[in-house]
Amino acid sequence: MFTGLVEHLGRILAVIPEPPGLRLAIDAGPLAADAVIGESICTSGCCLSVVRIDGPRLEFQLGPETLNRTTLGRRGVGDAVNLERSLRLSDRLGGHLVTGHVDGLGELAERIEEQDWVTCRFTAPPDLLIQMAGKGSIAVDGVSLTVVDVDAASFGVAGQPPRHKGPQRRPERDQAQPTAGPKPDASTGRAVRQTTAYLRNLFEEVGFSIDARKGQNFLVDLNLLDLLERSAEIEPDDIVLEVGSGTAALTERLARAAFRVVSAEIDRRLATLARDRLIDAENVTIVEGDVLASKHRLAPAVLAAIDEAEAARQAAGRSGRFLLVANLPYCVATPVISNLLLVRPFASATVTVQREMGERMIAAAGSHAYNALSVWVGAQCRGEIVRILPPSAFWPRPKVDSAIVRINLEPERRDRIADLQGFHEFVRDIFCHRRKVLRGVLVRLAGGKQQPEAVAKVERLYEAFGFERSIRAEEIPPDTFVRLHECFAADSCPAS
């Protein structure tokens, strides 16, 4: 028996066919710590028994009956599932009694979001609708909800269903866990939902006023915060760098998903609020201060905190990736990404940035957005815009659209850049003069047109690359730029 108060958002790790059914492997995070074979876990509303445990990975077998009656068979690797362990008779019953036997399948027909309030309508089979009434309880995907109204084809629910319940419900288990999670809301015991109303109240309470110069636009659309986290595909052994902890809305999610989180925050008052929220999250280091020591250098304290996190991971006998996941302050987005790619490459960066900057990061040669950042990123990574975000996703609203962008490092392409620092400077120098034809800029970099060797060197390059005399920097793709720099620096051009 369950309550419909979801404890953890699990992630499907594998879907293994086992005719006539299948086996689901799920990363159950902290819920796996004390799981036992045979234990019942409510998985998106369906009671499943654990058949295998491997660290945070729990496996379940689903027979044809379960696959017919639930949506679990339609889900794939990486999809989220709501998880809840079974109820103890001594527990408080915060939701309602949920059996974990799914009565029927419905579909989300409508979802309306107004400020902090979400109203959803679901279709359902007529034999279930007939049993529903306003103010009655229903579990949808294992989440306990109250029915608002019912008609002949559908029912409505309102509010925003809690996705994580706080740790008070099972204090004895939480004490036993090695890494405690972020602090729940003191009055409800649930994970705090950092909406506009929440932030307004918090800031009023502590007398904090927002500093627009520091890019303090908080991501208050929680679905988009979910999307940002999901798109990062964080694994339990990953180390994550966040820039701009703010009030820790994203940091606490990262803390649940990653091995360690290093989060830099320039604003002392926000760093204090973030520390307060994360008091129980032992795997987070807040570095108070500017993430940058200068435009071209990351702060040593941030790099040291990442080193320390890596040493701790190694000492624990684990290995994983280094990721950047952040709602980046616009003022530092370009130098943060550029400098990380130079000195501390991430396996992937999943960030919200100004839309224009996102477009630059993934722009192809010849497009109007293509600039030095496009070449620097494009020579080492492949990227995509995950979603364009309207100003209303943030509080206070910025004047422009933003974008969630994900870029993945391609190590073999990065390894082909023999002198990263030199290439970085070369690209920057060239794009300082992007409106000019490339030839003049290269001659200047080679020593100036008074120097016959400089002119001859550039002539040789143009011949080797087959460039038109009028070619401009923005027409040259990143990989060609890499070769051009190599030949320019060596003053010889091996045939490629």
What residues line the site for ligand SAM (CB under 6 A)? Answer: 214-219, 243-246, 249-250, 264-267, 270, 290-292, 327, 329, 331-332
Answer yes or no: are the C-beta atoms of 100 and 2 closer than 8 Å.
yes
Nearer to ligand SAM, 282 or 290 (CB): 290
What is the smallest separation between the CB atom of 256 and ligand SAM, expressed in angstroms? Answer: 15
Calculate the CA dihedral of residues 469, 471, 472, 475 and round it to 10 degrees: -160
Nearer to ligand SAM, 3 or 251 (CB): 251
Nearer to ligand SAM, 261 or 266 (CB): 266
Answer yes or no: are the C-beta atoms of 3 and 97 closer than 8 Å.
yes
Nearer to ligand SAM, 214 or 230 (CB): 214
Nearer to ligand SAM, 290 or 356 (CB): 290
Answer yes or no: are the C-beta atoms of 362 and 389 closer than 8 Å.
no
What is the smallest separation between the CB atom of 267 and ligand SAM, expressed in angstroms? Answer: 4
Angle between helices 420-432 and 478-490 (to 10 degrees): 110
The CB-nearest residue to ligand SAM is 244
What is the smallest separation between the CB atom of 287 and ligand SAM, expressed in angstroms? Answer: 8
Task: State the DSSP code for 186.
Answer: T
Helix (H) or strand (E) holding 312: helix 300-315
Answer yes or no: are the C-beta atoms of 82 and 71 closer than 8 Å.
no
What is the smallest separation between the CB atom of 467 and ligand SAM, expressed in angstroms? Answer: 39
Nearer to ligand SAM, 148 or 210 (CB): 210
Positive or negative CA dihedral for 243, 240, 337, 289? positive
Question: CA 219, CA 222: separation in Å to the nearest integer?
Answer: 7
Nearer to ligand SAM, 157 or 258 (CB): 258
What is the smallest separation between the CB atom of 107 and ligand SAM, expressed in angstroms? Answer: 31
What is the smallest separation between the CB atom of 117 and ligand SAM, expressed in angstroms? Answer: 20
> What is the strand order of the sheet 108-114 is part of?
108-114, 117-123, 154-158, 143-150, 137-140
Length of the chain: 496
What is the smallest separation between the CB atom of 74 and ligand SAM, expressed in angstroms? Answer: 31
Q: What are phi and psi of 103, to 5 degrees?
A: -85, -30
Nearer to ligand SAM, 7 or 267 (CB): 267
Placement of tokens 């390059």 in the chain: 461
CA 423 to chain centre: 29
What is the smallest separation between the CB atom of 331 and ligand SAM, expressed in angstroms? Answer: 6
Answer yes or no: are the C-beta atoms of 120 and 156 closer than 8 Å.
yes
Question: CA 391, CA 406: separation in Å to the nearest integer?
Answer: 19
